[in-house]
Homo-oligomer: A and B are copies of this chain.
Amino acid sequence: MTEPSRLSLNTATTKRWTLREAVDGAARAGLPAVGLWRDRVAEVGVASAAKVVRDAGLRVSSLCRGGFLTAADPAGARAALADNRAAIAEAAALGTDVLVVVVGGVPAGERGLADARARVADRIAELVPVAREHGVRLALEALHPMYAADRAVLSTLEQALDLAAPHPADAVAVVVDSFHVFWDPRLAVSVARAGREGRIAAYQVCDFLLPIAPDPLLSRGMMGDGVIDFAELTRLVAATGYSGDVEVEIFNADVWAAPGDHVLATMTARYRELVLPHLGG
């Protein structure tokens, strides 16, 4: 059996593992890449994290994450911009050109999404020169609309592409995350547009479980355990010519409770069964 040459372990999937444990686990499983969260990077420092990944012969598929750009007060806005500049520099230092950006929700006491959306657009524009300087793409992640109010006023791929449109594709791109987009009636049209515009920076997969978990952030599941048709979505992504990594990012209490090597074996098997046959190339 060939190695899964495009499969990446996002460190959130093996939450209990340190960065080094996750990198070692991914290497044992024959994976070529890891997607890193900043908290795991911060535990060892950026330079050490980069060395751990490099020494294991892996690459970094993405850094999660920047964003949370919706603060209405000047101090909050300044802090968010400073944090995003730091995240961009970290991504570059880690050798990835993909910084996943979750734009943030509606600040407490505010009603409606319009003002928060306008602030996101302004602040993305402020970050574009920094991203270009570092050779890093801001990969805007549309989140499932159930998070529209508290995590991301950016809810569809089309909206992400509209937000990216004023900027060059090497500075602002989008993430296609199966959990967040599978329900979208305009999915095929929007994925095709994202490909045409050269803006697909990352393809993340996990399933949508029912019933929705009491903590709705934890309803992500292993591919095949939920309702998503990975054949259909993967074919849409592959049809754009996307040739990057496929990251598995699962927030799920049961997955977190299982031994990391077991999780890696399952996700690799599910990837081979449900995703890889439709990736083309």
Contact = CB atoms under 8 A, between A and B. Distances in A.
Interface stretch (A55-63, A106-114, A167-175): A106-114
Contact of A232 (B106, B112, B144, B149): B112
Interface in A159-180: 159, 162
A146 B149 contact: no
A227 interface: yes
A202 to B, nearest CB: 21
B149 A210 contact: yes
A183 B150 contact: no
Contact of A183 (B155, B162, B182): B155
Contact of A146 (B106, B146, B226): B146
Contacts of A80: none
B228 A183 contact: no
A112 B111 CA distance: 33
A186 B156 CA distance: 10
Nearest to A112: B229
A182 B211 CA distance: 23
A185 B210 contact: no
Given A227-B112, A229-B114, A184 B155 contact: yes
Interface in A185-205: 185-186
Interface string A92-130: 000000000000001000111110000000000000000
Given A155-B183, A159-B185, A149 B227 contact: yes
A30 interface: no
Contact of A229 (B111, B145, B158, B229): B111
A143 to B, nearest CB: 10
Contacts of A210: 149-150
Top 9 A-B residue pairs of the complex, sorted by shortest distance between their CB atoms = A112-B229, A148-B183, A146-B146, A159-B185, A145-B183, A214-B214, A149-B227, A111-B229, A145-B145
Given A112-B228, A113-B182, A114-B229, 12 more contacts: A106-B227, A112-B232, A144-B145, A145-B183, A146-B212, A149-B226, A150-B211, A158-B185, A158-B186, A159-B185, A212-B216, A214-B214
